[in-house]
Amino acid sequence: MLKDLFNNKKKYASIPTEGSKVDIPQGLMKKCDNCSKIIYRKELSTNLNVCPNCGHHHQLNAWERIDSLFDKGTFKEWDSNLITSNPLDFPDYDEKMQKDREKTGLNEGVVTGKGLIDGQETAFAVMDSRYRMGSMGSVMGEKIARAIENARKESIPFIIFTASGGARMQEGVLSLMQMSKTSVAIKRFSDAGGLMISVMTHPTTGGVSASFASLGDYNFAEPGALIGFAGRRIIEQTTREKLPDDFQTAEFLLKHGQLDKVIHRHDLNNILGMLLKMHQKGARPE
Amino acid sequence: MKQILEFEKPIVNLKEKIAELKKFTGESEIDLSEEIATLEKRLEDLEENIYGNLKPWQRVQMARHQERPTTLDYIGELFTDFLEFHGDRNFGDDEAIVSGVAYYKDIPVTVIGHQRGKNTKENIRRNFGMPHPEGYRKALRHMKQADKFNRPIICFIDTKGADPGKESEERGQSEAIARNLMEMAGLKVPVVCIVIGEGGSGGALALGVGDRIFMLENSTYSVISPEGAAALLWKDSGLAQRAAESMRITAPDLFELGIVDEIIPEPKGGAHRDIKQQATNIDAVLEKSLKELNIFSVEELLEKRWEKYKQIGEYKEI
């Protein structure tokens, strides 16, 4: 057709030759998700999963995150014994949970507790997207609400690292209600003068971004993290709008005034430590 | 043109038959009143059978019915001297949410609700009842005002969900919803939320944190639309009917799950069959709940609100 003349799109697919495929030994090396450079896993891990070549932030799991932030040996976990009861008897849900428990060694997609960051005690929650995409159901809501309540009772700050695809379908409206449950807990904590810091990591979307992730006194994000309410595909389908390449990235949100700061993973520990210190007492003499 | 749902067709057909016979009796010498009486009895049974045993998917269709009454319909029936006020003082006015002050009986209240359109033109103006961030921020502005002047707040929930669009993301749809959840938790006045149609996800919840949550009998409240859930879980939005059943999104489901305080009954065949009757049913529940809530001190109110939300969710300990 005539319009094909103006269309430069290739009509064939290119298949890489055998020689161009790099054989990567399982476990020893990793190809950067962004720049495709082959990196030693060990090198990547000592660099907190940030690509030494391009600076891309690969995900950290919950315990890697805790190790990277807390003073050695100070972290004490809360409520690790809570697991889902499949409240809606949703088909296949129990099997999926069992699989994720085995895969991650976690009982749910969030680890909560308290510990010392640069010597300062803080309550903490970190989500782990390896577990059901970090989706939020009853257990996650309960653990986070309890952690916030503990922080209120102990008068210590609360820091949350989010990584979630949103609410968990298999618990239906109970998942949705965890958004309000955690938000009510945050309101109580905030009214009592508590400091809350939210750090959004890749990805933070849906019901999690539309509740506690956005409710910190400070809202931060890691570089390149995907953050948003509605999924990109849904927006494209419903509005037929062309979306910019950086749409819903941390940098996009910063540009539109939705974040306080985008913080490189290597600076997080330092900045959190500084911020905690600044909130220990006000400027006026007591 | 009245919208007739698939499962209502046997009722409609029977009604037509009865009307035909009546017409025939009137015009001819033959007396068919006995047959008519039999059919009318059968109609009654049929209606009882169909409307009394609605399946989840049928309730979804009811909740989405073209003629289902909207927030403004109920405002007209339940309140007097309603004055609508506009704008979030920041970006614009979002007509997917209506908000203002009115009298309920003799007390001043703030009324807020999602607003769908009744036709295509109005739906475009109101974005099909899917609010933008400025809609939620307008609602919050009015809630804070109610808080200042000690007016109870009544929220009507009726939305497929928050607007999924580029500009809504740019202006902080997530933050707007999250902020409402948090601030509603701290309102020092009674907040009563009534789901009148579809309660779609975070977009519904952002008007839904209150001391009492009611649902009309054929309304739904869900984390995602049945179509969306089916697409996500089984990669097939055609399985929406199955998703509607698995996800437990109807008023009786939510009552059983301990999220909804009471189900408000609907007239036979749905709220759109008799708006006045529906408003009367809402009125009864609203009056009772405001009376109950008005006796609490601010501290009691906030504590009870926390208790209410704290217990939502099911899990086990190992």
- For B55-111, the pLDDT digits (tens) are 999 999 999 999 999 999 999 999 999 999 999 999 999 999 999 999 999 999 999
Please give the pLDDT value at position A164. Answer: 96
B8: closest CA of chain A, how far (Å): 28
What is the pLDDT of chain A when averaged over all its residues? Answer: 91
pLDDT tops 60 at residue A194: yes
Partner residue opposite B314 with nearest CB, options A174, A210, A227:
A174
pLDDT exceeds 90 at position A161: yes
Residues of B in contact with A139 (CB under 8 A): 313, 315
Mean of the pLDDT values across residues B114-125? 95
Q: Does residue A2 surpass a pLDDT of 60? A: no
Please name the helix (run of DSSP H) or strand (run of DSSP E) that holds residue A82, with its range, or none: strand A82-84
Closest to B68 (Cα-Cα) out of B227, B269, B242: B269
| Chain B, nearest residue to A214 by Cα | B175
Judged against a pLDDT cut of 90, whether residue A18 lies above it is answered with: no
Lowest mean pLDDT among A266-280, B25-39, B101-115: B25-39
A209 CB near a chain B CB, below 8 Å? yes
| Position A237 confidence tier, pLDDT thresholds 50, 70, 90 | confident
pLDDT at position B227, please? Answer: 87
Inter-chain touch B173–A235, beta carbons under 8 Å: no
Work out the pLDDT band at B32, boundaries 50, 70, 90. confident
Tell me the nearest-neighbour CA distance from B270 into chain A, angstroms. 23
Q: Given a cut of 80, is residue B205 above it in pLDDT?
A: yes
For residue A91, what pLDDT is reported?
87
Provide, as residue numbers in chain B, all residues whose Cβ is less than 8 Å from the Cβ of A258. 172, 174-175
Residue A285 has pLDDT above 70, yes or no: no
Higher pLDDT, A166 or A283: A166
Considering only the beta carbons, identify the residue of B170, B177, B254 that sits closest to A173. Answer: B254
Instruction: Specify the pLDDT at position A238.
Output: 80
Determine, for residues A180 and B181 on separate chains, whether the beta-carbon distance falls below 8 Å: yes
Q: What integer pLDDT is reported at residue B24 of this predicted model?
A: 83
Mean pLDDT of A42-67: 95
Q: How far A202 CA sits from the closest chain B CA (Å)?
A: 16
Name the band, by pLDDT with cuts 50, 70 and 90, for residue B238: confident
A residues 25-64 closer than 8 Å to B (CB): none
CB contact residues (below 8 A), chain A span 73-92, against chain B: 81-85, 87-88, 90-91
Reported confidence tier of residue A22, pLDDT bands at 50, 70, 90 = low
Are B201 and A184 in contact (CB < 8 Å)? no
Comparing B6-10, B82-86, B286-290, which segment has the lowest mean pLDDT?
B6-10
pLDDT at A286: 53
Contacts of B313 (CB under 8 A, 6+ apart): A137, A138, A139, A141, A142, A174, A177, A178, A181
C-alpha distance from A127 to closest chain B C-alpha (Å): 18
Question: What does the pLDDT read at residue B230?
Answer: 87
Contact residues on chain B for A235, CB-CB shorter than 8 A: 164-166, 169
ipTM exceeding cut-off 0.85 for this assembly = yes
Taking an 8 Å cut-off on Cβ atoms, the answer to whether B229 and A257 are in contact is no
Contact B181 A184 (CB under 8 A): yes
pTM of the entire predicted model? 0.92
Q: Give the best residue of A96, A183, A220, A234 to mutate against chain B (max B CB count within 10 A).
A: A183
pLDDT surpasses 60 at B143: yes
Q: Which of B312, B317, B318 to mutate to test the interface with A (most CBs of A within 10 A)?
A: B312
